[in-house]
Structure 1
């Protein structure tokens, strides 16, 4: 090749390169002189910038920038960066000839000659508006999804790495589990599991199942930051990328504690209802059997009386043995009737603590020296309307059962306390009791205890765990029937090896309490001119726990009220010495308005109204002769 051929080839190569650049339509490729003026323009530049070559040559390239970017000096900064760093690359909004904007990817390179003299800049621009829009749409979608997830407060929604580390955290997770995002991100999710589940490997099993099956779903106890437990419904989904590689897990947790408690309460209520229905059915059957058995015993008893008159003296012992057997059978039917709630009761308003204190000697005698027997009575325990004799028998039954459960000795505790039941809280058996005040009597032992299946049958007649001949199985059933007939309930709490507590709940006679909220014992003034009647009334009020003062006339009663505070005035209507009970009551209401007033008389109320006027109806009234229950009932009306 000669010397003339070489320049011709170089020139041809340059033209080919120039044609190549000019023909590219997907990129704007053009030259700038050192001042930034456009010195060349290709087809791509014409296509998406809109300028023809003759329109743009010699113009400054800054006209492609938005007004705000020009004001910020970005064109000059781009050339300076290209010079100092050898290259400038960026993305941003650019302007077309028609004023519309497009998102551009820009590269500017400085161009030097063989003597390192700056000839200008090569600028390559690509229109990536569609990519920008797609990215913005994706980003906006992700942002909306993020806001959606963050806005959910009823569910804990968060991501786990393939190893189980928490990588993000929503508001619901913060609310349910108690951790802030900064506190929990980077921690292993197993910290939410209870210790026994962690020891059993449940967290690893959950991830393993989700990884292999694609999903894991379960319910169980979880732990909050404060250490409290909640019942959770959990779903774990495995997340894979386009190639199928596991990149983590999506975990959703919902707090179902209230639903769990409601289900447990419903289950307990169903069990209690079934037990109550079963006991009611057994009670009806038992009552019928006892009634028929009593009739048979009546025939036998009457027949024995006839035989005793007809037989010779040698047969007397046989007849007496038969009579004793009849008596035992009669006692057995009384126990059955007690369970069936068909026994006759002599209920009176009584101070429960006083009944127990008066019966304490018998109760302690039922124990033995190896038992530490403690009686702890709440001095503010309410009274109750109860058959005291049968109540004492029920207590004795419970103490004997407790003693038998501690053959080697132990601790026995008898307590009283007030209990306000709302029909919702407490053991399921109490749900059927009307919401009100109750007095609770509990007998607790440290004995052998009972498993749940035995507790469930403990009140059934003839059911016993004692050896043959050691018990009839009617003790607890008799207690149960008596307390149910008295409007109360019996609850057994027991665990094998941890002892048993039997609690009796009786409707409290709150209105007959003898103490106010500060523990003050109330004082009653009894006005009666008959000494014997005064003594009887004083004994009745004393038995209910009141402090009693007396007066024989209305004037004497006024002197008493001037000297001391009186909470209740209980006065006879007809009295000598010039002032009757109605006049005394009116005087008391005027001068001592806080004193409650009760009138008593042997005359019927209509006759008294005819004699003394209708004003008598303003006061609580009780007829003579009166009983303790009459006084308690009238006291309640006087307190309204």
Structure 2
């Protein structure tokens, strides 16, 4: 009986084996019982990178290359499929290994081995077939590298502190990262399939959204700031970049939005700007105060001479009985000088140039006096109401300063009602449990104060005027009706005692100016919060 090995040898001797092997696309190698190569086909020579002469008679240990496993570690010769089959008689299939030539790129093969039996049924030789799978291995490696990059990118996006939103071309959300869910207070399930308009705050104009969509639909990236709202209604200011994502044909299929919460940054910028404005405002007022204090005394001395000589001249002319027109002129000079003297006194008060003489002062006594003085200058169409808490303890304060505060606020209220309305003066304890901002110095404050409030139902203060109300010489009154020093003096008197000013005004609905003096000025006070 002819054995498989005899058949192969006879076919080789007849010349039939070569054409059969060379017609195969896979590499074929026949090894004898010792593992030495008897024959190889054309595909084997090409894959192994050796000629027939270099292969014939070679054992696995004498070949000029090494075999490696898929993980790159060396493959011992005894684990080669051909030797395994020779040793055990068992065929091997789909064994992947690499051929490593010195200085060359690894060639990857997938090998099978089949035993050839002699007449007694023993393994006398082995046929190994193998295919070059190097392109497949390269593709797998590229795929693994791509998957690794994608995993890294996905992890980076998932762990990013910025909100990431991916939508389709119609704006439906297809992906959100955890930072986005945390920022807006929605779960991933609630956002997937929704539209980003769910975040709209109403503060971004339709024109801005139109520009955004026009930009990204044209294939460009839009960058800007948007105001959005979280689920609980909290306003979020965001720096946003929205970019189109194109497919392999260059068509825009998706949009990716990167959002960074800059709410705190913008708030800090606003605070810094407010601080700079506050410092500049105080510097301007301090400059005017210094200037006023420097010139007021000298100017007052000049006015003493003007008023003194005008009174002497007026007296002499009246005794003479002649030149009544000149008497009138001198009277006008005297009146103008008296006004100038009042202005100088206000400048001195504002500059804090005078000595402070605090003593126990009851606000109700000074309030009645100030209201009485104002009533004497008012028509019957203006009502003045005093509502001062009689239980207030006396304040350790200069009564002249309290009088200045009340009278200046009352005069401003009188001018605001313009001949018809109601003016009220009140004083009581107040407690602020939330931080407030001073209308004149812009500093924050809270706690217990004694509030002196003058309220009117006049035309109110225009928003564009509120920033400058307490600046010296700023006035909205007609020429000749005010010097612009009234509220500046109120500012100076209040802050002389570490107090503050609170202002409420609405156009057409009147104004309330509240001077807040520290509760520490009270004698025998009880520090219980007052709602």
Q: TM-score range by the shorter chain?
A: 0.5 to 0.7
Per-residue Cα deviation, 1:250-289 (whole angstroms, up to 9, x for no partner): 2111111111111111111222222222222223333444
Structure-1 residue corresponding to 2:486: 475
Residue 506 in structure 1 maps to residue 517 in structure 2: yes
**Distance in 1 separating the partners of 2:483 and 2:344:** 12
Per-residue Cα deviation, 1:422-457 (whole angstroms, up to 9, x for no partner): 9x8624754558998644434344532233442233
**Distance in 1 separating the partners of 2:315 and 2:308:** 11
Question: CA 1:342–1:267 in 2, change beyond 3 Å: closer, same or farther?
Answer: same
RMSD, matched Cα: 4.9
Question: CA 1:196–1:347 in 2, change beyond 3 Å: closer, same or farther?
Answer: same
Structure-2 residue corresponding to 1:171: 178
**Distance in 2 separating the partners of 1:393 and 1:412:** 16
Checking the alignment, whether the CA contact within 8 Å between 1:161 and 1:247 is kept in structure 2 is: yes
Question: CA 1:17–1:432 in 2, change beyond 3 Å: closer, same or farther?
Answer: same
1:418 CA displacement: 3.9
Structure-2 residue corresponding to 1:23: 25
**Distance in 1 separating the partners of 2:393 and 2:140:** 81
**Distance in 1 separating the partners of 2:433 and 2:233:** 30
Structure-2 residue corresponding to 1:142: 150
Residue 231 in structure 1 maps to residue 233 in structure 2: no
**Distance in 2 separating the partners of 1:367 and 1:18:** 128
Residue 188 in structure 1 maps to residue 199 in structure 2: no
Instruction: Give the 3-state SS of the residue equivalent to 1:221 in structure 2.
Output: strand
Question: CA 1:513–1:218 in 2, change beyond 3 Å: closer, same or farther?
Answer: farther
1:179 CA displacement: 1.8
The one of 269, 272, 279 aligned to 1:266 = 272
Structure-2 residue corresponding to 1:397: 408
1:227 CA displacement: 1.6
Instruction: Give the 3-state SS of the residue equivalent to 2:408 in structure 1.
Output: helix
Residue 217 in structure 1 maps to residue 219 in structure 2: no
Question: CA 1:442–1:213 in 2, change beyond 3 Å: closer, same or farther?
Answer: farther
Structure-1 residue corresponding to 2:262: 256
1:328 CA displacement: 4.1
1:468 CA displacement: 3.7
Checking the alignment, whether the CA contact within 8 Å between 1:207 and 1:236 is kept in structure 2 is: no
Question: CA 1:511–1:365 in 2, change beyond 3 Å: closer, same or farther?
Answer: closer
Instruction: Give the 3-state SS of the residue equivalent to 2:174 in structure 1.
Output: coil
1:369 CA displacement: 7.5
The one of 115, 131, 134 aligned to 2:139 = 131
Worse-superposed segment, 290-299 or 495-504: 495-504
Return the TM-score normalized by structure 1.
Answer: 0.56
1:495 CA displacement: 4.8
1:295 CA displacement: 0.9
Residue 337 in structure 1 maps to residue 344 in structure 2: no
**Distance in 2 separating the partners of 1:354 and 1:138:** 87
1:246 CA displacement: 1.9
Question: CA 1:302–1:378 in 2, change beyond 3 Å: closer, same or farther?
Answer: closer
Residue 450 in structure 1 maps to residue 461 in structure 2: yes
Checking the alignment, whether the CA contact within 8 Å between 1:377 and 1:417 is kept in structure 2 is: no
Question: CA 1:472–1:51 in 2, change beyond 3 Å: closer, same or farther?
Answer: closer
**Distance in 2 separating the partners of 1:345 and 1:133:** 88
Structure-2 residue corresponding to 1:275: 281
Question: CA 1:396–1:305 in 2, change beyond 3 Å: closer, same or farther?
Answer: closer
Q: Which has the higher contact order (CA 8 A, sep 6+)?
A: 2
**Distance in 2 separating the partners of 1:430 and 1:420:** 18
Per-residue Cα deviation, 1:98-120 (whole angstroms, up to 9, x for no partner): 9xxx99899xxxxxxxxxxxxxx
Instruction: Give the 3-state SS of the residue equivalent to 1:22 in structure 2.
Output: coil
Checking the alignment, whether the CA contact within 8 Å between 2:349 and 2:493 is kept in structure 1 is: yes
1:52 CA displacement: 4.9
Per-residue Cα deviation, 1:53-83 (whole angstroms, up to 9, x for no partner): 9948x9777x548xxxxxxxxxxxxxxxxxx
Question: CA 1:347–1:232 in 2, change beyond 3 Å: closer, same or farther?
Answer: same
**Distance in 2 separating the partners of 1:353 and 1:103:** 106
Checking the alignment, whether the CA contact within 8 Å between 2:423 and 2:454 is kept in structure 1 is: no
In the comparison of the two structures, how many residue pairs are matched? 440
Instruction: Give the 3-state SS of the residue equivalent to 1:441 in structure 2.
Output: strand
Instruction: Give the 3-state SS of the residue equivalent to 1:450 in structure 2.
Output: coil
Structure-1 residue corresponding to 2:209: 203
Question: CA 1:136–1:460 in 2, change beyond 3 Å: closer, same or farther?
Answer: closer
Question: CA 1:262–1:501 in 2, change beyond 3 Å: closer, same or farther?
Answer: farther
1:291-306 to structure 2, matched below 5 A, reads 291-303=297-309
Structure 1 residue runs without a partner (length 5+) = 1-14, 29-40, 66-93, 107-122, 520-640
Checking the alignment, whether the CA contact within 8 Å between 2:392 and 2:428 is kept in structure 1 is: yes
1:585-596 to structure 2, matched below 5 A, reads none
**Distance in 2 separating the partners of 1:104 and 1:388:** 106
Checking the alignment, whether the CA contact within 8 Å between 2:396 and 2:522 is kept in structure 1 is: no
1:300-449 to structure 2, matched below 5 A, reads 300-303=306-309, 313-314=319-320, 318=327, 321=331, 326-350=337-361, 352=363, 356=367, 384-407=395-418, 409=421, 414=426, 416-418=428-430, 426-427=437-438, 429-430=440-441, 438-449=449-460
**Distance in 2 separating the partners of 1:308 and 1:444:** 42
Checking the alignment, whether the CA contact within 8 Å between 1:383 and 1:508 is kept in structure 2 is: no
The one of 470, 476, 485 aligned to 1:465 = 476
Structure-2 residue corresponding to 1:247: 253
**Distance in 1 separating the partners of 2:318 and 2:425:** 55
**Distance in 2 separating the partners of 1:484 and 1:138:** 69
Return the TM-score normalized by structure 2.
Answer: 0.66
Structure 2 residue runs without a partner (length 5+) = 1-16, 30-40, 49-66, 68-78, 100-107, 113-128
**Distance in 2 separating the partners of 1:377 and 1:173:** 55
Structure-1 residue corresponding to 2:526: 515
Per-residue Cα deviation, 1:354-412 (whole angstroms, up to 9, x for no partner): 75478666678888887787777689978654222432342233234234334464786
